[in-house]
């Protein structure tokens, strides 16, 4: 089976700068890592590949050349192949234009069985790119997947449990399908020595706009329906009160004050 995992490079720190002209994020300013939630997508893909006994896992990332680092990390964990989608025309893409490019790359990798993504990226936090790719590819979509309970190669289906507000929704999708997974999917593996050696030697294909045959007006900032028009840093501190509960009187005062707040909020049963 072939599984494609799109991954994203995100800032390692919370220090991210914004381009004051376009309002888009400037990524090169901060050290970058693989989106932590994408590691669960890689983990799920590697497990499915290994239990199926054959096939490959292809990691994809869209970004400037240094984004290759996340492909190297994916290979160190066990991915078979990595492809960098890099072109100056991809820059400034919102989720619409990002999913357009990723879907076009996945088209080129067909036939595929599954696309697996993380639930969302920890920087943009939109959770929109995974569903967007499914829409472009016109393949069934299951988001918030916590468990893959069955893969039926002959029937070309996958059965999963989606973590929703009031429990798990159990769905069966015909494949190829796209899954976005949550952390509950599986505990993460560590890179193996062999994987690290392979990653060090790995060379990655680079695909640009021409390779993907996406019209220029659908790429990058130009192809993005949304525009960031303002960035503000919110005031994080609330005008709260602090109670020192270092002694018995303090503990009693804290209990009274919290109970007052709870009553005021109308939540006491």
Site for another protein in 76-135 (CB under 8 A): 94-96, 99, 122-132, 134-135
Alpha-carbon torsion, ordered 171, 98, 106, 169, to 10 deg: -10
Whether the CB-CB separation of 257 and 127 falls below 8 Å is answered with: no
What stretches of 53-126 show up as alpha helix (H) in DSSP? 68-77, 95-108
Ranges within 166-225 binding another protein (CB under 8 A): 166-174, 177, 182-184, 224-225
C-alpha separations of 70 from 5, 38, 79, 154, 175 in Å: 12, 10, 11, 34, 27
CB of 12 to another protein, least distance (A): 12
Q: Which residues from 5-34 bind another protein, rule CB under 8 A?
A: 11, 14, 16, 18, 23, 25
Decide whether 81 or 100 has the Cβ nearer to another protein: 100
Query: Total binding residues for another protein by CB under 8 A?
Result: 90
Min. distance of Cβ 4 from another protein in angstroms? 18
Residue placing its CB nearer to another protein in the complex, 24 or 61:
24
Q: Does 155 bind another protein (CB under 8 A)?
A: no
Alpha carbons within 13 angstroms on the beta-carbon side of residue 208 total 7
Looking at the Cβ atoms of 133 and 202, the one nearer to another protein is: 133
Shortest Cβ 109–another protein spacing (Å): 19
91 vs 168, beta carbon nearer another protein: 168
DSSP letter (8 states) at residue 174: E
With beta carbons less than 8 A apart as the criterion, state whether 76 and 195 touch: yes
Nearest approach in angstroms of CB 217 to another protein is 12
**Residue 8 CA, distance from chain mean position:** 6
Report the residue from 111, 190, 215, 269 that binds another protein according to the rule CB under 8 A: 269
For position 249 contacting another protein by CB under 8 A, the verdict is: no
Q: Does 241 bind another protein (CB under 8 A)?
A: yes
Preceding amide of 176 cis, omega within 30: yes
DSSP assignment letter at 214: -
């Amino acid at each position: 089976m072939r599984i494609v995992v799109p991954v994203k490079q995100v800032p390692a720190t919370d220090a991210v700068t914004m381009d004051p002209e376009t309002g888009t994020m400037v990524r090169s300013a901060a050290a970058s890592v693989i989106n932590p939630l994408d590691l669960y997508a890689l983990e799920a893909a590697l497990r499915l590949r290994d239990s199926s006994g054959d096939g490959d896992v292809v990691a994809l990332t869209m970004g400037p050349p240094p984004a290759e680092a996340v492909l190297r990390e994916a290979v160190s964990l066990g991915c078979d192949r990595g492809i960098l989608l890099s072109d100056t025309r991809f820059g400034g893409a919102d989720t619409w234009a990002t999913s357009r490019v990723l879907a076009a790359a996945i088209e080129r990798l067909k036939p595929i069985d599954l696309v697996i993504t993380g639930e969302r990226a920890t920087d943009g936090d939109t959770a929109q790119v995974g569903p967007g790719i499914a829409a472009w590819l016109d393949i069934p979509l299951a988001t918030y997947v916590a468990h893959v309970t069955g893969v039926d190669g002959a029937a070309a289906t996958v059965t999963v449990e989606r973590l929703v507000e009031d429990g798990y929704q159990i769905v069966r999708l015909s494949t190829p399908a796209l899954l976005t997974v949550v952390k509950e999917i599986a505990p993460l593996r560590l890179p193996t020595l062999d994987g690290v050696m392979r990653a060090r030697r790995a060379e990655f294909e680079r695909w640009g706009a021409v390779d993907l045959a996406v019209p220029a007006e659908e790429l990058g900032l130009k192809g993005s329906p949304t525009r960031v028009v303002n960035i503000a840093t919110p005031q994080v501190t609330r005008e709260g009160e602090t109670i020192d509960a270092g002694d018995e009187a303090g503990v009693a005062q804290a209990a009274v004050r919290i109970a007052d707040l709870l009553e005021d909020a109308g939540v006491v049963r």
